[in-house]
Amino acid sequence: MQDIMPTWVGATAKQIARGVRRGDVSATQVLADHLDHVAKTDVDLAAFRAVRGGEAVTEAEKVDEQEDLANLPLAGVPVAVKENTPVAGVPTWNGSAAVRTPVAEADHEVVRRLRGAGAVILGVTRMPELGLWGSTDDETAVTRNPWDLSRTPGGSSGGAAAAVAAGLVPIAHGNDGLGSIRIPAACCGLVGLKPGRGVVPCQLGAEDWFGLTEHGMLSTTVADAAVGFQVLAGRAQSKLVPPQRLRVGVSLRSPVRGVSPDAPNRDAVAAAGRLLAGAGHDTVPADPVYPTSLGLKGVATWFAAAAADVRDAGVDRRALQRRSRRHVTLGEWAWRRGYVREADRSAWRERSIGFFTDHSVDLLLTPALASAPPPAASWSTRSWQANMLASIRYAPYAAPWNIAGLPALVVPVGRRPDGLPLAVQLVGPPGSELLLLGVAGQFEMANPWPRHAPGYPHVGTGWPANA
C-alpha cells in the first residue's frame, strides 16, 4: 500500500497557529499543503479569483523567520480575502472585470491586521458583481457549493464560503452588507459572524453601503470564528466563556411579506431551541415588527449603494452586467427621490435595540434562510427581476440587522432532507459579539457539525495537527 504523506489541510486555524508557534511545522509547509489542495480542488469549485502562489510563499517565509511567534494568534495560517477588499500587489476585482481597479498599492486595514496576526494571504475569493447578489458567478466561472456542486454557495462572500467548506483555507475573510457573510455561511454549513457597526474598520466603496457593511470571517469552528473576529477588531485574544442563563426570543416571522421559511428551516429553529434549553437558557416567542416601509427603504438603500459605488469608482455602467445596470439606475432614482435617509436607518436601529428591552430578551433566534440555496447557474446573464426574486425569496432574514447595525451570527444545526446544511441566525444588541459566539460554542459542544462538506478536503490520511 502506498504511503500518503500527512498534510495540514483540514486543520483548524487554531491548530495550525499552535503548530507553527511551537515549531511542529513551518508556515511554508502549511502553505505548500494548501496551495497543492487548491490546485487540485478549485477547478470544480471556482472559489478563488486569484491565488497568490509565489507572493504567498514569500510571506510564509517571513513568518518562519520571525524570532517571536508567541503573540501571533494566526501564525502561519493561510487566509483568503474577498476580492472587493484591497490586498497589496493584486487588483481589486469587485466581482467583475468591469469594476476591477488597478493593482492595490497598500493593504486594507483588515488585511493589515490579518498579516499582523501572522496570517498568510493565499489568494482572493470570488463574489458577484459589486457584491449585490445572493449567488456567485460571472462570465468567467460559476462558483459552486462543495456540499452539492449543483447549488450556489450563496453571496456575496460565496467564494470565501466555498473555500472554507472545502478546506482550501481554514478561515476566510468576507464582508456583509445585507447578509453577505451569513447567507454563504448558512449555505455551506459554516460559522459566520457579522460584527456590529463600528467594531471593525469598514472603508469599502463609496460610503460602506451607507453604513450597512461590516467585515468578518467565515470558519468551521466557533474557536476560529472568535480568533478571527478579535484579530479584525484589533482586540487582545480572550477565551470564550459559556454564557450564564439567557432569555432568547424566538421568531419565524419573515421580514419580507409573502416569504416564509420552509419546513426544514422551521425544524432548524426548533432544534436550536432545544439546544438552548439543553444549555440552560430560556426561550420565549418574540416577533420583531418589520414595517413594510423598512423593506422598501432597505431595497432602496441596496439600489443606491450600487449607484454610489459605481459613481465613486468612475465605472462605465455600459460595461456592467445587465442586472447590475438596472440596479444602478434604480439606485440613482431612489436617491433623487429622497428614499435613502440616515434618519430612517437610525430609527430602525433604535427600534431594534428597543426590541431586546421591550421583550426582556438577551438575544433573538431566527431562521438563517427561508429555503434551500438556489442552483449554481449563470445568474449574471439572467434578468434583474430573476436575480432579485431568487435572492429575496431564499434569504430574507439577514438584511434588517445590517440596517440596524446589530451583531448577528449564523451557526449550523443539522441538515436538510437533501443533505445540504441547515443553520439558524442569532442576533444581539450592540456589543454582543462574544456573547453570540459563546452561545454558538454551546451549540457546537452539544451538537457538533461536520467541519467540511462530505468528501472534502480531498487529501490523504488527514493532518498531523495533534502530533
Residue 364 and residue 286 in contact, taking contact as beta carbons nearer than 8 Å? yes
Give the type of residue at 394.
Answer: Y
Q: Which residues contact 131 (CB under 8 A, 6 or more apart)?
A: 84, 94, 95, 155, 156, 175, 177, 180
Residue 457: asked if its preceding bond is cis (omega within 30°), the reply is: yes
Q: What is the dihedral of CA 145, 134, 48, 97, to 10 degrees?
A: 140
Cell readout for 61 is 517565509
Residue 156 is a catalytic residue: yes
Which cell numbers hold the place of 318?
455600459
Residue 94, Ramachandran bin (φ over 0: left; ψ between -120 and 50: alpha; else beta):
left
- From the number of C-beta atoms within 10 Å of its C-beta (0-12, 13-18, 19+), residue 55 rates as middle
Active-site residue flag, 82? yes
Catalytic pick from 14, 82, 194, 297? Answer: 82
Count of alpha carbons within 13 angstroms of residue 395, beta-carbon side: 30
- Gap between the Cα atoms of 342 and 331, Å rounded: 15
CB-side neighbour CA atoms (13 Å) of 103 = 5
Q: Which residue has the cell 492595490?
A: 104
Catalytic residue among 96, 135, 157, 180: 180
Whole-angstrom distance, CA of residue 74 vs CA of residue 58: 17
Q: Which positions are catalytic?
A: 82, 156, 180
